[in-house]
Amino acid sequence: MECSISMRITGIRLAKAGFAVYGIDYRGHGKSAGLQGYIPNFDELVNDCAKYYTSVCELPQNKNKMRFLLGESMGGAVVLLLHRKKPSFWHGAVLVAPMCKIAEEIKPHPVVIKTLTKLSSFIPKWKIVPGKDITECAFKSPEWREEIRQNPLCYKGKPRLQTAKELLMVSLDIEKNLNHVSLPFLVVHGGGDTVTDPSVSRALYETAMSEDKTFKLYPGMWHALTSAEPQQNLHLVFADILSWLDERSTTPSDNQSARPSRYVKNDAHYA
């Protein structure tokens, strides 16, 4: 994905609510340089984000403001790794269907994974990883699916070998280290998500050492919670996100640790 078009709904809603919003296209994504859809090293991608967002926070107009991260899907993994690099720097995070674990429904057979992992050393850029069409699996709205397919800034081919290997290794690493997460966070996930595993978002909530943590599961919603759901679903998700941010957008000196943890399963049925 990329941040200027496919993330516009999130950016506009947050900006209208009074937040300063900054986004970045990862290398190999959107308008950034690099072979499209190619991630040779995930840690370098995270370092790019760390440098950029730290520089944003150091701008004169932002120095005394609270700092929140928001990441969707792979961006959720990036957020958790940014927090790992600077555990006390960020005041909170919103994780939307985070890539803490790739859903079994879209992972190749273990034998295939083992074979492709070996091949990635020789043909890292090849697009031969089998799997379901992510666009078809992630976006409930047919109109949004078509917009993604028509957006030249979005990579829509099969995963490149090295990219797939990096995503798998990162998701395994994050899943093993969920208990090290300590910042305040809200994690939202669709119960019908077949791209990233909602059970691992629940595990993040249950095992993270954070004292201020909230998990919201939306039965029937898919992966793209903030863009490709019916309008009533989008309103609900953004209301929850903005309410969580508003409650914490006071001053860094406030006692954040006094907030309780919350697990909320919305019982309503969604289209």
Q: Which residues are catalytic?
A: 73, 193, 223
| Residue 135 · residue 158 · CB < 8 Å | no
Which ranges constitute the DSSP H helices of the chain? Answer: 8-16, 42-57, 74-85, 110-119, 134-138, 142-150, 161-176, 198-207, 231-248
What DSSP line would sit under 119-183, residue for residue?
HTTT-TT--------HHHHH---HHHHHHHHH-TTS--SPPPHHHHHHHHHHHHHHHHTGGG--S
Paired with 69 in beta bridges are 93
Strands 213-218 and 185-190 come out as parallel
Task: Report residue 199: phi and psi, to 5°.
Answer: -65, -25
Contact 247, 214 (CB under 8 A): no
Q: Which helix (H) or strand (E) holds 214?
A: strand 213-218
Q: Show the CA angle centred on residue 13, arms to residues 240 and 22, nearest 5°.
A: 110
CA distance 217 to 244: 15
Strands 92-96 and 68-72 come out as: parallel
User: H or E stretch including 263?
Assistant: strand 262-265
Torsions phi, psi for 214 (to 5 deg): -140, 135
